[in-house]
Amino acid sequence: MRRTIAEHMVRSKQTAPHVTSIAEADFTAIARFREEKKAAFRQAKEVSLTFLPFIVKATAHVLRELPTVNARWTDEGIRVRKAIHLGIAIALEDGLVVPVLRSPGSRSLTDIAVAIGEMVRRAQDGRLLPEELTGSTFTVNNFGADGNLIGTPILNQPEVGILGVGTIQKRPVVVTRDGEDTIAIRWMGYLCLSYDHRVVDGAVAGRFLQALRHTLESFTPGTGIWADPALQTP
């Protein structure tokens, strides 16, 4: 496993000029909803309702709006992919694997959470099939699960973008209410986008991160992309 990871990472660095842009997002609305639902969700679905399904759902939505980040570089030109399949980096004791969650944009939060939970269990048990590790168009790496704030992930070739998410925690931040600045306690986290500069420029990366931030911060249960009967608030 370490040999395969080493070869893949070296090839990625040698192939693509890596750049990383970072934005900060307010996860407070999601954190409050998650706190309200997580116990019942765990009991009903036997998996945890983490922040990751929300991030995956929002990422798939934004990739639809900014398809340049869902592309690959070829000798014939840039090939934009219509399908969106997200690789989900899963840490193991002696390495990591990146199984593929297919078409998350058309799946509910509940479906995504259950699918990720099942992928984690099967990865840890060594039961993933080879075809489950191929075909991703973009990767999400939740390195914040280990308490890390910021990272610069390496591209999963031949993808041109990978999102790393830092730990989401309460922090004091300045917010403006009725024209007045005040200090508030909010759930904050860093979004770290590494990208292939042959395909994606800083302006596009910035638009991607700001669109992702806006999508996460405007979370409203039961509406738009967040509609999910299994998580409907009474």
> In a 3-state reduction of DSSP, which class is residue 115?
helix
Annotated active-site residue 8? The verdict is no
Active-site residue among 8, 61, 201, 214?
Answer: 201
d(CA 204, CA 198): 12
**Do 161 and 138 meet the contact criterion of CB atoms below 8 Å apart?**
yes
Annotated active-site residue 197? The verdict is yes
d(CA 86, CA 115): 12
Whose CA is closest to 122, among 108, 133, 106? 133
Active-site residue among 85, 146, 178, 197?
Answer: 197
Structure tokens of 68?
């340049």
Locate the DSSP E strands across the chain: 18-26, 71-74, 77-80, 85-88, 90-92, 95-97, 100-102, 138-141, 161-165, 169-177, 180-196
Active site residues: 197, 201
